[in-house]
Amino acid sequence: MKKILIVLIFALAISASVFVCDKAFAEEVKPWNVVFTVKYGDDAYSYDLSREISETDEAENRGFYLGARAKRACRDRLLALGLPEQAVYNYILPDFDGILRHFDYVNCDREDASVRFDKNGFSYRNGRDGAAINISELFDAALESRGNRITINLPVVTDKAVTTEDLKRNTVCRGSFGTSFGSSGSNRSHNIALAASALNGVTVGVGETFSFNKTVGARTEANGYKTGKIILDGHYTDGVGGGVCQVSTTLYNALLLAGFVPDAVQHSLVSSYVKAGFDAMVSYGSADLTFTNDTDHPIYIASSVVNKRISFTVYGESNPYKIVRESVETRDKFATSYIVDPDKYPELLYTDQTKVVVGGSDGVKTKSYLKYYLDGKLVATKLIRTNSYKRVDAVVARGYIERETAAAQP
């Protein structure tokens, strides 16, 4: 501190001459004195410049006997030289630091409220505003005493923290969507629930790109997946992880309604659980479902599987639009042919006994749109996809013997 004081004295001497009052007059009248009490709540701290200065030439050189205006001018000249603010104040008012040390407990860093999102939903932790003593304002207020004791309420600068209310405004529902798998067998139902669980409680940070495959992982027996129906090369067949595409499709539509247009891959055949043009096929290592969070806040994904219905809800900052999906399609209806093959299907004896060998699927061409409504008015229509789905004709095996019609009763 001695070195700083020497520098300050030298800087003051070369920057401007110091006006020194007549010491005897100053002692008699004391208009130069700075005497005040600082209060913060019930806490108080008193300061009196006349008790801090010593009877030395240094006291005169440092300008303790200057008036308020001259003290401010002195302060301004020293600060203009780039000297540390607090050291300057301490130079003009000795032990000004004592006030700051006394009220140091007032200073605290800002702590923003925080949000946690997991499989159980949202939980919030309250924050705390930051606070710091406004040293320059305190110094200026002190100089107003001009020899009379005054009371100063400790000036504090508040650094407002993010509140839980702020966070809740940015964790609202942006969009949700659900599909049913009521006719699915136990294996397919198991796979849907397993994949949905992996997606429940996911947070996508600002600017982050979400990947379905990276989040869910490989659909293998080692990861708990079972064999179910999948679409492969334009046909339904058995494969490990059957049903997971319904999960990706449901999430895809929830994201569309939440204001995103994810990158998605269509199936080769139309799906039974969603409109044509709004499916999202996934295959680990090849086909993925991805989107980038281009909003100003994190995006949160929640899933639910109840009563053979899977639903996704996407949370984040408020979505100003109501978004409606629309698909324009043309269909090429599949045909059905029948075969009789006793060697291959010996269980089929009669013509009214049948077995579907190849399931039929319409050929469909689609254009998929999103319609954006604001305050009930359509403000934009966006074409997001053009798709073409393969037509597959059905093949049905049946028996070869006509059943005898029961004779009519007399």
| pLDDT tens per residue across span 188-219 | 999 999 999 999 999 999 999 999 999 999 99
Indicate whether 235 belongs to any domain: yes
Give the span between the Cα atoms of 276 and 331, in whole angstroms.
Answer: 10
pLDDT at 239: 81
* Distance, C-alpha 393 to centroid of its chain: 47
pLDDT at 215: 97
User: Which regions in the chain score pLDDT beneath 70?
Assistant: 1-29, 55-61, 232-235, 405-410
User: How much is the CA Rg of the chain, to the nearest whole Å?
Assistant: 40
Looking at the structure, tell me whether residues 213 and 353 fall in a common domain: yes
pLDDT at 406: 47
Give rounded-to-5 percent helix, strand, coil for the chain: 25, 35, 40
Looking at the structure, tell me whether residues 148 and 195 fall in a common domain: no
Looking at the structure, tell me whether residues 64 and 193 fall in a common domain: no
Looking at the structure, tell me whether residues 86 and 190 fall in a common domain: no
Last residue of a domain, one of 154, 179, 213: 154
pLDDT at 229: 77
Looking at the structure, tell me whether residues 179 and 145 fall in a common domain: no
Looking at the structure, tell me whether residues 188 and 219 fall in a common domain: yes
Q: Alpha carbon of 255 to those of 238, 291, 292, 301: distances in Å?
A: 29, 9, 11, 9
Whether 303 and 199 have beta carbons less than 8 Å apart is answered as yes
pLDDT at 56: 52
Indicate whether 128 belongs to any domain: no
Whether 397 and 341 have beta carbons less than 8 Å apart is answered as yes
Indicate whether 270 belongs to any domain: yes
Q: Which residue matches tokens 């505003």? A: 129
Last residue of a domain, one of 96, 123, 154: 154
Last residue of a domain, one of 154, 178, 193: 154
Indicate whether 117 belongs to any domain: no
Q: What is the pTM of this model?
A: 0.78
Partnered with residue 300 across adjacent β-strands are 203, 315
pLDDT at 10: 45
Looking at the structure, tell me whether residues 146 and 179 fall in a common domain: no
Indicate whether 124 belongs to any domain: no
Indicate whether 186 belongs to any domain: yes
pLDDT at 28: 54
Looking at the structure, tell me whether residues 61 and 93 fall in a common domain: yes
371 is written with which tokens?
């319609």
Residue type present at position 162 = V
Looking at the structure, tell me whether residues 150 and 273 fall in a common domain: no
Looking at the structure, tell me whether residues 279 and 364 fall in a common domain: yes
Residue type present at position 42 = D
Domain that residue 381 falls in: 170-398
* Overall domain count for the chain: 2
- From the CB of residue 28, how many other CB atoms can be counted at a distance below 10 Å? 8
Looking at the structure, tell me whether residues 18 and 63 fall in a common domain: yes
pLDDT at 237: 77
pLDDT at 30: 85
Indicate whether 160 belongs to any domain: no
Q: Alpha carbon of 256 to those of 136, 264, 269, 383: distances in Å?
A: 53, 11, 21, 12
Give the span between the Cα atoms of 355 and 339, in whole angstroms.
Answer: 10
Indicate whether 405 belongs to any domain: no
Whether 263 and 252 have beta carbons less than 8 Å apart is answered as no
Looking at the structure, tell me whether residues 84 and 190 fall in a common domain: no
Q: Name every residue whose Cβ is closer than 8 Å to that of residue 400 and which is 6 or more positions away in sequence.
A: 340, 342, 348, 349, 351
